[in-house]
A and B are shown apart, each in its own frame.
Chain A
Amino acid sequence: MWIDPSRPAERALVTHGHADHARSGHGAVWATPETLAIMALRYGTEMGTPMPYGDGFEANGVKISFHPAGHVLGSAQILLEHAGERVVVTGDYKRRFDPTCAPFEAVACDVLITEATFGLPVFTHPPIEDEIAKLLAARAAHQEGCILIGAYALGKAQRVIAELRRAGYDAPIYIHGAMQKMCDLYAAHDVALGELILATGLAKAEMKGAIVIAPPSALNDRWAQRLPDPITAMASGWMRVRQRARQRNVELPLVISDHADWTELTDTLLELRPSETWITHGRTDALGRWCELHQLKARALDLVGREEEEEG
């Protein structure tokens, strides 16, 4: 039995729906109902055993259960219990408020297998309210054009939309065609996104003063040429570093991440105080060093198939 296998496996436990964790072609899949819905949307009619948060089952004497990770809709940590020993695999997680998914739950454990995507002390995600305010100010100052935001189609896009709504922005939000189905799926799971309009095929004039959301790959693409004088924004934790934003030709960096920042990663370790920590994808070296400085036993796991700097 594998967790988030990068190759088709007979039996797979899947933490969440992002493509580098949820691959297609497995035999049997256990995941939260939301994650299964996302996989079905992406890969067609895949079946699996739904595991709502808190539920579990037993296999080979190991009790397996799923707990909220706060990363995206349906994201879960996986707890493995055997002979009194508890192992938690965080998958990707964050600890900040997110109106589009269930909040992270700290699960006591002996071994913590943690992500470290933003595992460098330079990564502190600012309050999302500040970033949304920055976005709305840029829009107000650029009524003749539009703001084009690059955001991953699963999770980030819906979170940005929901946060805009929470800040009182109730105008229609324009979306790239690649996001529509995922937005519909979120709405079907009671995540209120307000009025969304497909940006494809509209005249430039219709989108003046608008906020448009597209996958990052569309930002510098021909697709964006149909928009009225767009300011290019990007919602990602990587935007914290100026040159990362510049390398992607981003004019309005929005530091919005669905991963734990350095403080969240280290605070979680201090809170759980696992007797051993395994660090998976991301900046394993720096978080390992921090563990050493804080007398926490840690080791890095090199995983294949995890691209550096893919999501953020």
Chain B
Amino acid sequence: MQAFSALIDGLIYTRSRDHKVRLIADYLRNTPDPDRGWALAALAGTLSIATVKAAAIRAMAEERFDPMLFRMSRDYVGDTAETVALMWPEVSADAVAPTVSEVIDLLNSTSRARAPIVLAGLMDRLDANGRYALLKLATGGMRVGISARLAKTAFGQAFDLSVDDVEEVWHALRPPYAELFAWGEGKSDRPDPADSAFFRPFMLAHPLEDGIVDLDAYAAEWKWDGIRIQIASTGGETRLFSRGGDEVTAAFPEIAAAFNGIGVVDGELLVRGDVQGGEAASFNALQQRLGRKNVTAAMQAEYPVFVRLYDILFDGAEDLRSLTWTARRERLERFAAQLDPLRFDLSAIIAARDFNHLAEMRAAAREAEIEGVMLKRRDSPYLAGRKVGLWYKWKREPLVADCVMMYAQRGSGKRSSFYSDYTFGCWTPDGALLPVGKAYSGFSDAELKWLDRFVRDNTVARFGPVREVEKSLVLEVAFDAVHESKRHKSGIAMRFPRISRLRRDKPADEADTIAALRAMIG
């Protein structure tokens, strides 16, 4: 555990990406199996310990510490795990620190009810840095500024392999990745997962900032506002994966059941409805189906889902990814013909005469509640990740409204001492402010400092970590859409709100009204 906690702290304090990769690579080379495999899983976000939830950490803390002292400490530190790690009594000199695999084995073999006791026993054997690493490991949220991609890059660097080769088999393997390390050390061939249905990395798009593309070279499709989904089927087994490669089959069993092809396809999961060009419901409707481990028949009937297909990666066992988009599109059309049209259809190609015509169609898309346009180079192969010049997303312009800051809350992580989460409101006809949303992004570090100072200097009331402020600061808020919501007293809520500008020049009573926002609903 010491080597692992030293790695975690090294990653926290190191700013250079290359240096982070080197730290991880050194660790992976010099640590025995299976510790390094568990550590790699923790960094890549594939480690999940079912018995330990964040609530277990809080329960453990409440057992040991005075709740008020704990709350004050948590409020200052900004991170529950770190607070508990720091408050925990110092380790006795004769304690023997556990290994990473001992931690995993102990936690995996206990029950959820007993987990806090097991965890406390492990805490007693570690110093403050070790306790921090333990709690981060147990809850799965490392937050050390490492993406899954960077963890795989580090693995590649440790064993002199290309990250794309690692990526290709990664999702077919499970922690602690013994086969992967055996391959890395040259003790075995590359793992061959051909007979299982597993995730292949998505091809992603860059935003089209302000350029023009030639529609002879690029095909245009509508950008549908659902969730990106990959369906992989070997015939015997069909599995669904979301953007990050998480399996979501159980949430959408009707899709897996209806898929009668063999291969791997890429598409957008949508709820049937009459928004989005009259063809699909809003993202809000889809949200009712997300994040569920199991789904009732009633949910399936109320929010019927379907997949709009974009691309095909495998037809049977044949890998089509090196073909051009045009050739894959043709194969996709043939492949889709065998599928149930109720559950699967094709994302249509937009028939625009030229780029200007496309721009006009995109401008009209807000009326039809379509998120924007995708542009795909006709000769592009299907490549993992975001590659310059191949695919673009061209979202419609965000909506903006001038709102008044009402409450602020301290952020967590990097922003733990800053008031960085803002609730803002708009005016009712009788001159009251009602909250319409909450945002914690869009501003620069310098603006954050200013906002934090504003909150501290203009606090009128405190409710635990929340401060109510003088209603004097106008924030220009950008958002993608606004919809009806029971969450806010105003009856409306924004999608993807972010602070676009601080309007220190604007008097608060000139901010927008609830009615003006309501008029922007679809």
CB distance A124 to B128 under 8 Å? yes
If A120-B72, A121-B69, A283-B72 touch, does A243 touch B13 (CB 8 Å cutoff)? Answer: no
Residues from chain B with a CB closer than 8 A to the CB of A124 are 86, 90, 128
Docked CA distance A124–B72 (Å): 16
CB distance B73 to A245 under 8 Å? no
CB distance A244 to B72 under 8 Å? no
CB distance B87 to A243 under 8 Å? no
If A122-B83, A122-B87, A124-B128 touch, does A243 touch B417 (CB 8 Å cutoff)? Answer: yes
What residue in chain B is nearest A290 (Cβ atoms)? Answer: B69
CB distance B86 to A122 under 8 Å? yes
If A120-B76, A124-B128, A243-B78 touch, does A286 touch B69 (CB 8 Å cutoff)? Answer: yes
CB distance A243 to B83 under 8 Å? no
Docked CA distance A245–B82 (Å): 13
CB distance A243 to B86 under 8 Å? no
CB distance A286 to B13 under 8 Å? no
- A235-251 interface mask toward B, CB cutoff 8 Å, 1 = contact, 0 = none? 00000111111110111
If A122-B77, A124-B128, A247-B417 touch, does A242 touch B12 (CB 8 Å cutoff)? Answer: yes
In the complex, how many residues of chain B place their beta carbon closer than 8 angstroms to a beta carbon of chain A?
Answer: 26
- B1-27 interface mask toward A, CB cutoff 8 Å, 1 = contact, 0 = none? 000000001001111000000000000
- A293 contacts B by Cβ under 8 Å: yes
What residue in chain B is nearest A285 (Cβ atoms)? Answer: B72
Docked CA distance A126–B79 (Å): 21
- A126-149 interface mask toward B, CB cutoff 8 Å, 1 = contact, 0 = none? 100000000000000000000000
Q: How far is the CB of A190 from chain B (nearest CB, A)?
A: 34
Q: How far is the CB of B11 from chain A (nearest CB, A)?
A: 11
Output the residue of A241, A244, A251, A283 with the most chain B CB within 10 A: A241
Q: How far is the CB of B264 from chain A (nearest CB, A)?
A: 40
CB distance A244 to B86 under 8 Å? no
- B326 contacts A by Cβ under 8 Å: no
CB distance A289 to B69 under 8 Å? yes
CB distance A289 to B416 under 8 Å? no
CB distance A121 to B417 under 8 Å? no
CB distance A251 to B73 under 8 Å? no
- B66 contacts A by Cβ under 8 Å: yes
Residues from chain B with a CB closer than 8 A to the CB of A247 are 414, 417
CB distance A286 to B73 under 8 Å? yes
Residues from chain B with a CB closer than 8 A to the CB of A121 are 65, 69, 73, 86-87
- B68 contacts A by Cβ under 8 Å: yes
Docked CA distance A240–B127 (Å): 13
- B413 contacts A by Cβ under 8 Å: yes
Pairs A–B under 8 Å by Cβ, sample size 19: A120-B69, A120-B72, A121-B65, A121-B87, A122-B77, A123-B86, A126-B128, A241-B82, A241-B86, A242-B9, A242-B79, A242-B132, A243-B413, A244-B417, A246-B12, A249-B15, A286-B73, A289-B69, A290-B66
Residues of A in contact with B (beta carbons under 8 Å apart): 120-124, 126, 240-247, 249-253, 283, 285-286, 289-290, 293
